[in-house]
Amino acid sequence: MEPFWLAPLLASVLNAPVLVQLNVAMLLEFPAVDAREVAAWWGLFRAMFAAPGTAAAVTSLFLQAQALEQCGRRFVYAPLLGLHTRAKAESPAPRREVMVHRSDDSFAQEGYARLLRRFAALWGRRAPQLAPRFVFIGQEDRPSFSEQAQYRALVVFPRQPHEVKLADAFAMELVTFVPDEPLAHRFVWPFARPFGFWTREADHRAAMWGRSPWRAAAPDCEPRAPARALDGMPLMLEPNASLSLASLAVQRFWWPWTEWAVLLQAGVQGFVSAPDLLVQLARLGSTEASAIQVRMRRAQVQRRHRTLRWWRRAAGAACHQMRRKSGGGK
C-alpha cells in the first residue's frame, strides 16, 4: 500500500488512468514542504482527474469529508473488506480467552489494559465462573488470522479514525468489542497523525493540510457524508492550529463518520467502561455470539457489494479509455 501523493506523479509518468483507494490523508508522508512544490503537486492532482478513466475511492466517511474539504471532490465510499484474512470465527469458539489487541501502543491503551487486568482479577476472586480470561497482544506479537479467529472475542483499542485491524476482524466475523462514546474519544484522536492531525512542525502541517486551488464541485455524491464545513459543520483542517480536533464538541461531531461508529451499527459491540465490558463478556454465550456474527455477515455482504461495484465500474471505465487511446475502439 503506497502513499496517495505518489498517484498524481505516477499518472503523469504513465499518461494513463489511475485507480486509487485512499486509506489515509492525501498528503501523508509528502516529502516536500515548500509551498511551490505543494502547489505543483496540486497541479498534477488536477491533471490526473482531468484524464478520463481516473477514479478514486475512500475507505471511510471521515476521510471522504476530509478529502472533500481539501480538494472539493467527494470520493466514493468503498470500505475495506479484509479479503486477505481468509479465516472465519466459529461459534462456539475453540478458545475461551478474549484477545486484547494493541495493549501497549500508547499511554491510553497501556493504562486501560492495566485497568482491565485489575478489574478482571477482582472479578475473578468474586465470581470466577464469570471472569473473562484476557490474552493481551502487544506491538511485538503477530498472531496469524487463523489464530485470531480461534478466540472467543476481540477487544480493540482504537488509535485513529479508521484502522485496517477493525476491517479484518469484521471480515472474520470475530465478535469485537471497541470503546463507544464518550470513552472512544480518549483513544481515537490523540494519535491520528495518518489523517493529518497532531503534526507539530508548521511546514509539514501546512503541506498536509493544503487545499487545492481548483476545488471543483464534487462529482460523486454520498448523501450521508457531510458536504462542507458550513452551516454549523466545523472545519476539520484549520490552517493555523495543530489541535483542530481538541474540542470535545468537534470530536463528537466527526465521530459518526469514523469506521468505528459505522461498524458499531453493524454488529461490532461497544463498551463505555471496564465494568461494562466485563458484564457484556460474561453474558456472551454461543447463542449471543452467533446472533452477532449473523449481523456482521449481513453487513459485510452490503459492504462487499459497495466496494466491488466501485472497482468493477472504475476498472471498466479505465480499460475502456485505454482501449480508445490505443485505437482499439470498443
Per-residue pLDDT of 141-177, as tens digits, reads: 889 999 999 999 999 999 888 889 999 999 999 999 9
Kindly write down the DSSP assignment for every residue of 262-282, as one continuous string.
HHHTTT-EEESSHHHHHHHHH
Residues 201-219: b if buried by 16+ CB within 10 A, e if exposed? eeebbebbbbebeeeeebe
Q: What is the largest CA-CA distance in the chain?
A: 77
Question: How far out from the chain centre does Cα 198 lie?
Answer: 17
- Positive or negative torsion for Cα 183, 189, 192, 198: negative
- Under the banding of pLDDT at 50, 70 and 90, the label for residue 330 is low
Question: Which domains, from first to last, does the chain contain?
Answer: 5-84+303-327 (no CATH), 97-189+255-298 (3.40.50)
Question: Please, what is the average pLDDT of the chain?
Answer: 84
The confidence score (pLDDT) of residue 221 equals 39
Contact yes or no for 242/43 (Cβ under 8 A): no
Q: What is the pTM of this model?
A: 0.87
At 58, give phi and psi (nearest 5°): -120, 155
CA distance 306 to 297: 14
pLDDT single digits (tens) 15-27: 888 999 998 888 8
Residue 199: pLDDT over 50? yes
CA-CA-CA-CA dihedral for 222, 228, 229, 233, to nearest 10:
-40
Contact yes or no for 224/217 (Cβ under 8 A): no
Most confident of 83-92, 216-225, 287-296, 321-330: 287-296
